[in-house]
């Protein structure tokens, strides 16, 4: 079975407090974006079952040990509760940039849960899949719903929200600068905001520039000034709203329909992928 896990952007991201369990309470709006990986999971052929999971990948290199991949973790998570699940072969073609604040790994893990649910006829509901996804990672539950959602808690408490950006052209930029999520969280001083993202997001998009803030921008831009320059360039070329996504390093800009973002000559030496 094959699925095409997509990525997401964050429309605003507030870090509100450090929780007793070590996670951070946050508020954000997740919005799905149609940049996709390709994930295929098949039952391993009899006679080739030396391991429970055979993992293969292509496309963008995937760092780290295979055992830490969320697709593999999704298999073992379900295998614990459903021992009838047989060995599988997983092939992941990676197109979504890694460590870019776009949730590609989380999306892959959520897609793996969904495929395994169908492949082995586990009959898990969306609510149950969300519960399993929350055990994989804070962003994973969003990709089970995969529609614009207002998210709180550590990102797993979600409420679908009415917002449609189809009338805008989106420039999605990956500057090839790795940002550690753990490092980024360490730079944040959590604080309750005067105005919630839920209220700001319902305002005209023209008001978002000054009010819809991603808390990670300040420390990330201080550490990597070139990222701040990219955001400024997006605005100079006519973006109605521009922001870092997640903890970065990807940025996006929303332009009037039909506008195309062309990086200025100032970025000729900066490695960027315009997605």
Contact 60, 5 (CB under 8 A): no
Could you confirm whether 139 is annotated as catalytic? yes
**Strands 38-43 and 88-94: what pairing?**
antiparallel
Q: Which of 139, 215, 231, 233 is catalytic?
A: 139
d(Cα 57, Cα 40) in Å, to the nearest integer?
A: 10
Exposure on the CB side of residue 140, measured as CA atoms within 13 A: 27
d(Cα 150, Cα 156) in Å, to the nearest integer?
A: 10
| CA dist list (Å): 137 to 120, 224, 272 | 23, 26, 28
Exposure on the CB side of residue 151, measured as CA atoms within 13 A: 31
DSSP state letter for 214: B
Region of residue 123 (left: phi > 0; alpha: psi -120 to 50; beta: else): left
Neighbours of 95 (CB within 10 A): 17
Could you confirm whether 215 is annotated as catalytic? no
Strand ranges (E), the chain: 2-3, 6-18, 24-36, 38-43, 53-59, 88-94, 149-152, 157-160, 168-174, 241-244, 251-256, 273-274
Q: Which of 8, 73, 79, 94 is catalytic?
A: 8
Give the bridge partners for 255, in sequence order: 169
d(Cα 22, Cα 193) in Å, to the nearest integer?
A: 21
Active site residues: 8, 139
């Amino acid at each position: 079975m094959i699925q095409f896990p997509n990525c997401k952007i964050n429309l605003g991201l507030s870090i509100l407090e450090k929780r007793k369990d070590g996670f951070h309470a946050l508020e954000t709006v997740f919005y799905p974006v149609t940049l996709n990986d390709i994930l295929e999971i098949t039952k391993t052929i009899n006679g080739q079952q030396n391991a429970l999971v055979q993992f293969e990948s292509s496309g963008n290199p995937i760092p780290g040990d295979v055992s830490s991949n969320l697709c593999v973790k999704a298999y073992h998570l379900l295998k614990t509760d459903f021992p009838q699940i047989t060995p599988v072969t997983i092939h992941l073609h990676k197109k979504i940039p890694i460590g870019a604040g776009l949730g590609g790994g989380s999306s892959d893990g959520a897609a793996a849960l969904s495929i395994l649910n169908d492949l082995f006829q586990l009959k898990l509901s969306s609510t149950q899949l969300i519960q399993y996804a929350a055990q994989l990672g804070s962003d994973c539950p969003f990709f089970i719903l995969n529609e614009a959602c207002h998210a709180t808690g550590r990102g797993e408490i979600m409420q679908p929200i009415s917002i449609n950006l189809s009338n805008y052209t989106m420039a999605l930029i990956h500057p090839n600068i790795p940002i550690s999520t753990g490092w980024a969280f360490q730079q944040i001083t959590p604080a309750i905001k005067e105005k919630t993202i839920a209220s700001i997001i319902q305002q005209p998009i023209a008001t978002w520039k000054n009010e819809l803030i991603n808390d990670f921008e300040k420390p990330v831009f201080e550490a990597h000034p070139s990222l701040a320059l990219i955001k400024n360039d997006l605005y100079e070329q006519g973006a109605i709203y521009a922001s870092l996504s997640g903890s970065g390093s990807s940025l996006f800009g929303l332009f009037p329909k039909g506008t195309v973002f062309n990086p200025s000559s100032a970025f000729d030496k900066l490695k960027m992928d315009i997605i």
